[in-house]
Structure formats: structure tokens, C-alpha cells
A and B are shown apart, each in its own frame.
Chain A
Amino acid sequence: RKEVEQDPGPFNVPEGATVAFNCTYSNSASQSFFWYRQDCRKEPKLLMSVYSSGNEDGRFTAQLNRASQYISLLIRDSKLSDSATYLCVVSGGGADGLTFGKGTHLIIQP
């Protein structure tokens, strides 16, 4: 069974700090990678795709390490509104194509 593993946290981080967390995946044939964000009692929403060369969107940077089979998410200058659960999503096998991690819970403290 394909696995996507994440540290569930919670990560308690002061506002303005930089925080990073990783996600490991077991299927070396995986091709597409994403980070989704899920607020408490809300549906997941796409935060960003993860490209082989790494990509940045404002305060968020995502990177892929194929050799070690992990992806990472870095959040700079964290805001209170960044508090959420961050879901790692990997594709590359199976008809559904996507495997969701259980998420990393991030709490930004004032």
C-alpha cells in the first residue's frame, strides 16, 4: 500500500517565525505532489503544487527531494491565519491517483 507519512504535530510556532515540515512518500513512481491546507472543520483547499525544481508562492516555499522521497513546505514570517492542518498529497499510482497524508497541525501563537 502506498504510504504518505507526515508528522502530525502540533507545531506551536510564534508569529513571525519560520516553520518547515516534511512529508515522506513510499512510492518511487509518484509523479505529482501537492500541499493542501485544511482549516478546522472545513474542507481541504489546494495551497500549492510542488515542482521538481522547487517553487515559491509568497511566504510559502515547497521543495521535492526525489532521491530521499520527501517533499517539504517552508512558511516564512508566519501569520496567525496560517494556523491550519497541512496535508501532503502524492500521486502516481492507483486509479484514484492521489494519496493524502494525515496532515501536520500548525498553530501560530501571538
Chain B
Amino acid sequence: GAGVSQSPSNKVTEKGKDVELRCDPISGHTALYWYRQSLGQGLEFLIYFQGNSAPDKSGLPSDRFSAERTGGSVSTLTIQRTQQEDSAVYLCASSLGPATNEKLFFGSGTQLSVL
């Protein structure tokens, strides 16, 4: 499709398990963002990839969270040893360039539930 694709759309896991969330950005978009949104809350920035530059990981809440972007395209967000407070919608977004200048396109998100 032409939009940002995220998978899975829903993920239920047990506390302590690892999970991987996938994001396929729009082709040609150099910037990729991960955000987290808890129920009734705003978007919390997690990590930002821009081209071949080192990613900005300043928003990752703990060392249990990591992300990579292979070949400047697909990105995977990994959460190790999940905790109940990790339950949220994880949103991926991409833009042609830095989002300060370009429109952000969001995927439909992954709803993560940690039991």
C-alpha cells in the first residue's frame, strides 16, 4: 500500500516476554519516528531515524527498549522483558525529510497489551 504499515495491529503478551513491533514507512521517506500513546494521553516520542545518521534515542524510556532501521527502510521496535506499564499504542510515522518541515504520515499503530 501507499501508506505507513505497522504490524501486528494488536499484540497481547505476558509480563516478562519480549516483543517486536514492525514498521514499513512510505517508500522514499528518509525520516522515521516511533511514538507511544497511552489511553487518553498525548504522543510520547521514543526514537527518530533520519537517513544514515545515528538515531536519536533520547525518548526511549529504559534500556529494555531498542529499535533499528535496516537499509533505511523497515524499522523494528523491540521491547524486552515487557512490563504492564508498557501497554499502549505504538505509532510509527515517516516523512520525506525532517518532520519540522515535512508532513508526518502515521501508521495505524500496534496496540500492545501486557498481561
Contacts and interface: CB of A to CB of B under 8 A. Distances in A.
Contacts of B99: 91, 96-98
Interface residues of A, number: 21
| Secondary structure call for the A interface | loop
Interface residues of B, number: 21
Interface in B91-114: 91, 98-101, 103-104, 106-109
Q: Is the interface of B mostly helix, strand, loop or mixed?
A: loop
B56 A96 contact: yes
Interface of A: 31-32, 36, 42-46, 87, 91-92, 94-103
B1 interface: no
13 contacts: A31-B100, A32-B101, A43-B107, A43-B108, A44-B43, A45-B106, A46-B103, A91-B100, A92-B100, A96-B58, A98-B45, A100-B35, A100-B45
B33 interface: yes
Contacts of A42: 108
B58 A95 contact: yes
